[in-house]
Amino acid sequence: MSRRDRPSSEGKDAGQKRRACCMVSELLEESGIDREHVRRVRKQVLQGIILLCQWQLERMDQTQARASATEGRGAAGGRRGRNISVE
C-alpha cells in the first residue's frame, strides 16, 4: 500500500484532507518566516533565473553567428595551423 492510499488518521485533522498550500502557510508561520519576505525572495530567484536564461540565449546566438561566419573556412573552424620547424 503506497503512502497515497493509506488513510490519514494522524494529526488534528484526522477526517479531512489537508491542502498543500495550507500546510506550507502553517509551516512558514510556525517558523516565524514572513510571507511577504518569502514572496520577495521568490521573485528575486525567478528574476535571476530569467536573467541567466537570457544570457544563455545571447551566448547561443553569438556562437551560432560565429559558426556561420567561419563555415567556409575549413574543418579547423577558422583557425590556422602554426608554422613550426622540425630538426
Q: What's the total number of domains in the chain?
A: 1
DSSP one-letter string for 1-26:
--TTTS----SS-TTSPPPHHHHHHH
- What is the per-residue pLDDT for 18? 78
For the chain (length 87 residues), average pLDDT per consecutive 10? 50 66 82 86 95 94 81 60 81
25 Cβ neighbours under 8 A, 6+ residues apart: 35
Is 58 a domain residue?
yes
- CA angle 34/31/18 to nearest 5° reads 95
Is 76 a domain residue?
no
Domain around 42: 20-68
Is 63 a domain residue?
yes
- What is the per-residue pLDDT for 26? 84
Is pTM, for the whole model, over 0.85?
A: no
